[in-house]
């Protein structure tokens, strides 16, 4: 596997991880007791921390990519093992 593929796969896993982790730990103004600003949505977060989301996404994507790469090298699960995939031999 070349470096471009490693970077591209890691980046895709990181983006998906970031979107998965976005809603965790977010509190609305109703939950924190803050007053809504005129025009503010009721569901707008009052404590959004993008650095924390990026850090958590980095940790999660490193673990997932490590498992993916280990499977790539060791061949634990291959396409031929999946049900419904046509066998070539």
- How far is Cα 60 from Cα 40, in angstroms, rounded to an integer? 32
Tell the burial category of 46 from Cβ atoms under 10 Å away from its Cβ (0-12, 13-18, 19+). middle
Q: Determine what percent of the chain is predicted with pLDDT higher than 70.
A: 98
Question: What's residue 56's pLDDT?
Answer: 96
- 46-60 pLDDT, tens digit per residue, is 889 999 999 999 999
Residue 6 has pLDDT above 70, yes or no: yes
Residues 67, 12: contact at Cβ < 8 Å?
no
Q: Taking the model in full, what pTM does it have? A: 0.82
């Amino acid at each position: 596997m070349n470096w471009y593929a490693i970077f591209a796969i890691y980046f895709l896993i990181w983006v998906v991880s970031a979107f998965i982790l976005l809603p965790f730990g977010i509190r609305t103004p109703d939950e924190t007791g803050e007053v809504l600003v005129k025009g503010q949505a009721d569901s707008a977060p009052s404590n959004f921390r993008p650095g924390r989301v990026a850090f958590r996404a980095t940790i999660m994507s490193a673990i997932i990519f490590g498992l993916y790469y280990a499977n790539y090298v060791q061949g634990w699960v291959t396409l031929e093992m999946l049900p419904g995939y046509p066998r070539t031999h």
